[in-house]
Structure 1
Amino acid sequence: MPFNIEETTKNYIQYINQLNKKLLDYSKDIKFNSIDLTESIKTEKLNPEIGMLENCIYFIQLNNIKNSDAETICEHITNLKTEDKTTKYPRVNGITENGLNNILYIGKSKGKLKSRFKSHLQKTPKGTYGLHFENWINEKKFKHIDFKLYYASIDLCEEDKDTDILEILESGLHLQVKPLLGRSGH
């Protein structure tokens, strides 16, 4: 065998343990800011100042929702995914057991946040995973919903920029919050 799997596993565990220490250090300093995202969805443009941020984790909260809105969004996205197999919508997770989840989506962006939000706010190539608001937000049944963006830019040191730190932070949020849409660990 060209490599020793036991040795590679031990090395990987050591790497994960070091990464976990860094994650805890980074998480102590993370502070989320927020903006109303509703106008950005309408104009298909993210606030330029926020759009220039890098190494971000974010989540989108639904405000002013009715009891059935979360389920309606999940059903609507499921139908869109069935009707249009070429557009890459996020995975539909559904509502939580208590049905109180108002978090639509959790994401991350290593590059400029505006680049990541193009697939959420603007018509982009159908092969790019995103919320693709342009295909569903103008439905009458969603007009009353307000969207709020919570975002945090993490000041990663140079050696950590190519690690999985952002992905793990995003996955931790996803596990805890259980958003309506999206998957953990991508």
Structure 2
Amino acid sequence: MDHVIRAVRAEEWAKAREIRLAALQDPAAPFAFLETYEQAVQKPDAFWRDRAAAVGEGVVARQFIAEAGDGRWLGTLTVLVERPAGKVRFGEAAKRDQTHVVGVFVRPQARGTGVAKGLFEAAMEWSWALEGPRIERVRLYVDERNARAAAFYRRIGFVPSGESVPVPGDPSARERELEIWR
């Protein structure tokens, strides 16, 4: 499937909104996102404009999309920059300069075509090239019930960190942290 991977621009807020709403209607959404379609659809246009402006700047976050030749967005992911205050003690990986991948979604018709891999390649390249203290690690969380996503993340090089957190709203389920170190 022909596509290009690029960063979202601030003026593309309506398309960013549309792909987020599509992601939240996916059957895996309850395991993949911490927001529901019903919550997101209620947000005003100003929210989506502000969100697109923030990721468009690329200072604290960057959203990447896979765009087909006809302009359709096939997939997306967002990378958040995490720069902790204070000193890092040995063994405290979460207190290092790192990025955090969130909001991964590929439309069903584009799955298995290289879209997700391309999005992650862009995210990693951007993470390693950030200005300021060197990014040492890229991390993400995957719900233990989302085996398809977990298998993909491992296939592209993410490994379990050993950390996990309860799923908000369902303390019986866990999200596992996966990571790649530079």
TM-score, length of structure 1 as denominator length:
0.23
Task: Please tell me whether Structure 1 or Structure 2 has the larger radius of gyration of its CA atoms.
Answer: 1
From the two aligned structures, give the one with the greater strand fraction. Answer: 2
From the two aligned structures, give the one with the greater helix fraction. Answer: 1
Q: Using CA pairs below 8 Å that are at least 6 residues apart, which structure has the higher relative contact order?
A: 1
